[in-house]
Structure 1
């Protein structure tokens, strides 16, 4: 019997229907995917040698929050909620700086809501965002900066820069009062350098030397860079989303009165974006910056390294991890050698409430409530925080992230648990996990943590050729 099969053609699997199956289309020239190398459940793995190109094209989500946010009623409701939130501070807060912010920001948010309702749709969002940004950020920040009014952490950062220049260590050797403690790592002193260099003589020096200005600048630059890395297309600049986020009460209040956590938010978002785009050295350096600002950024290192390992393999992940560890040691070792006791006492024990002088952070979060019951409650709070951290670590190892959104979600979950269960915490700390959840989604223009699979790629391994009978 003569065989009618074409040599090299494989028989289709499954029930024969009488139809000839067309061969799978070949990947186009210049494709950044490699057939047969699959991310489990997500299709092909991005080809590690091609950098700078987005492997996954944007796909519309079933639920589009952007369309919902474009409605006038939703915009007005958001401005109304922000105005009510700001108006509550002059009534319930006992801090003069927060009361001043609320008195100025509440009318600004109300004006922004009115502009959303009355102006044409084409210009209403931009006008409302500008009104909120000016009234809730620029005006109160300028007033407080010119008067030299800020929260104690701004003074601590500026003093640490002066100490670093004069003594070689950013920590006081024998702290006596609360403001003598510096709970930040050595790299935070960089934001106080302008004050140490220009002083505080005159309005210009007051503004230029204020650490809050540099906190905000680092925050904006990092978010812009992460937007450019994660955005599928270069269709528009992120000025409106960035203005809305910065003018929201979530960021505006922290920026005006303190802002010490803003650089940490920015560098964490940028680190996840760099890891997704296979910028290993850049990701390592940014992670080192985060890990030398505050100890709360340390979970970002394993999350970003596992993201690189999941997408591009062991070598890029090891390269980024070693870069981050090496740069962190370069910054941390001199401070540890100069005053190791002060570093341990002020950076580790003081935020955990283990020193004789307690930290002033005192929002009624679960960990703070438990710590109020004495040593037993304090131990329970630390135990719960440890258990929560272990749970997130197990989740991270069991399901490593496959996109910057998934990595940011994991980091946000871990930080939220730590802030909620820590013996001393503030509601303002929750801005970090909130922005980690929101900003990568806005930049990537999708709300799912799972990246879409390219349609022009082979989703399965080639079938073997059956031998001729």
Structure 2
């Protein structure tokens, strides 16, 4: 007869009568326990190795930008961030284990995120998309539309849906008079705030008992080159990453109306977020039935339509040209997104290659849709995985794209797993973050 374990008691305290050593048995059981104990004692060393290797990879990543990039802001970030990552690696090696992870994460956050971000903001340096968002907010306040009617150069195009202009409103209202207004008015600050707030809310939803603090894994993720570079120089995709994670987390918990409202925000930032709607609807349908799925869908569709339809009716040609055709490389002025992804490489061979790229994109989207219908997700992690695959296919095969877009599917795969993991010592958690939660 097995004894019961009180709530909260460690697993080691649970024993059963059949586990007791029997007379005449050999010493294999103590040997096995000793071996297991030795394996457990190796884990801190393994975690430290993962941490140091992660810092080394990040430092090498940052060092590459001054060598291969021709964009001044990226070169500046790499110059500042590489020593910060190297220092983080040294802290992992030198400090006791209980302090090493937090000290390394703090050094990386300060050196790879906060310091270069503040310096670039005070100097008024950013990628063109930040200027586009801030200009769209000024246009929205003065003309009622965030779009220039007759774009002639790349920076005249606004490839975002109308809600993206909200992130430029602080600059339109505060201006650039003084360091405080300069910092608080910068759209990058509000991109980052939205991203962090959504990921924290996602963690709270998927891990309601707060068995582990999100501070260290969130700091590690934010300080990684995957997020740090985008946050410092542009960050326009960060809000989309956050709201997609939050929407699917809300759907997994059966909160249909809040999920629909968050999807309204996602679907009116960029049209690349639209696949999140069917994924969330199928997740709700599988877990909670048709009515919650219908409520979320109707909320998302009605809210998105209410925000986009006025511009579609009054500026349909402008919206189609700037939001749809420009990102797909179908306008006379080509998008600057030009990483050598397969779709971009194919499009470089002329009209035929461009057609092949779009055809493969449609076939890939169809394949992901069939997969989604055949195997609807039953958890937030599964839903985020499906959405990540679909977006990876889209970003890889689209005629125009950049490597930075892949941050969205990467975070969709990583963060919900960390948040939904109930065991602090889970091996995947240790590998992904390089720390023990």
Say whether the fold is shared (TM-score over 0.5).
Answer: yes
CA drift at 1:353: 0.7
Higher relative contact order (CA 8 A, sep 6+): 1
CA distance in 1, matches of 2:145, 2:200: 32
**Is the 1:160–1:182 Cα contact (8 Å) retained in structure 2?**
yes
1:132 counterpart residue number: 108
Cα offsets for 1:276-298 (capped at 9, x unmatched): 10011100000111000000000
1:204 counterpart residue number: 180
1:55 counterpart residue number: none
CA drift at 1:70: 6.8
1:443 counterpart residue number: 419
* 3-state DSSP of counterpart to 1:187: helix
**Is the 1:246–1:252 Cα contact (8 Å) retained in structure 2?**
yes
Query: Aligned runs of 1:336-351 on 2, under 5 Å?
Result: 336-351=312-327
Between Structure 1 and Structure 2, whose CA radius of gyration is higher?
1
CA distance in 2, matches of 1:291, 1:427: 22
CA drift at 1:174: 0.2
**Is the 1:69–1:75 Cα contact (8 Å) retained in structure 2?**
no
What is the Cα-based RMSD across aligned positions, in Å? Answer: 1.6
1:76 to 44, 52, 70: 52
* Greater CA drift, 335-344 or 403-412: 335-344
TM-score normalised over the length of structure 2: 0.86
Residue 404, structure 1, aligned to residue 374, structure 2: no
CA distance in 2, matches of 1:232, 1:120: 30
CA drift at 1:71: 1.0
Residue 387, structure 1, aligned to residue 363, structure 2: yes
1:312 to 288, 294, 297: 288
Cα offsets for 1:44-95 (capped at 9, x unmatched): xxxxxxxxxxxxxxxxxxxx9xx68971111000000000000010010000
Residue 267, structure 1, aligned to residue 240, structure 2: no
2:144 to 161, 168, 173: 168
CA distance in 2, matches of 1:213, 1:166: 23
CA distance in 1, matches of 2:295, 2:314: 29
2:125 counterpart residue number: 149
CA distance in 1, matches of 2:255, 2:278: 16
The 1:96/1:231 distance shift into structure 2, 3 A limit, reads: same
The 1:230/1:419 distance shift into structure 2, 3 A limit, reads: same
2:74 to 75, 98, 119: 98
* 3-state DSSP of counterpart to 1:363: coil
- Number of equivalences: 384
2:157 counterpart residue number: 181
2:434 counterpart residue number: none
CA distance in 1, matches of 2:399, 2:121: 31
2:309 counterpart residue number: 333
* Greater CA drift, 331-340 or 217-226: 331-340
TM-score normalised over the length of structure 1: 0.80
Query: Aligned runs of 1:276-291 on 2, under 5 Å?
Result: 276-291=252-267
1:39 counterpart residue number: none
The 1:373/1:267 distance shift into structure 2, 3 A limit, reads: same
CA distance in 1, matches of 2:141, 2:312: 16
**Is the 1:169–1:338 Cα contact (8 Å) retained in structure 2?**
no
* 3-state DSSP of counterpart to 1:94: coil
* 3-state DSSP of counterpart to 1:122: helix
CA distance in 1, matches of 2:273, 2:71: 28
Cα offsets for 1:222-269 (capped at 9, x unmatched): 000000000152223200000000000000000000000000000000
1:231 counterpart residue number: 207
CA drift at 1:147: 0.5
* 3-state DSSP of counterpart to 2:98: coil
Cα offsets for 1:330-371 (capped at 9, x unmatched): 111122233111111000000011111000000000000000
Residue 355, structure 1, aligned to residue 321, structure 2: no
CA distance in 2, matches of 1:352, 1:81: 33
Query: Aligned runs of 1:107-122 on 2, under 5 Å?
Result: 107-122=83-98
* 3-state DSSP of counterpart to 1:392: helix
The 1:80/1:73 distance shift into structure 2, 3 A limit, reads: same
CA distance in 2, matches of 1:70, 1:118: 15
CA distance in 2, matches of 1:112, 1:234: 27
CA distance in 1, matches of 2:332, 2:45: 48
Query: Aligned runs of 1:235-246 on 2, under 5 Å?
Result: 235-246=211-222
The 1:70/1:224 distance shift into structure 2, 3 A limit, reads: farther
* 3-state DSSP of counterpart to 2:400: coil
2:196 counterpart residue number: 220
CA distance in 1, matches of 2:376, 2:51: 36
Residue 258, structure 1, aligned to residue 257, structure 2: no
Cα offsets for 1:11-32 (capped at 9, x unmatched): xxxxxxxxxxxxxxxxxxxxxx
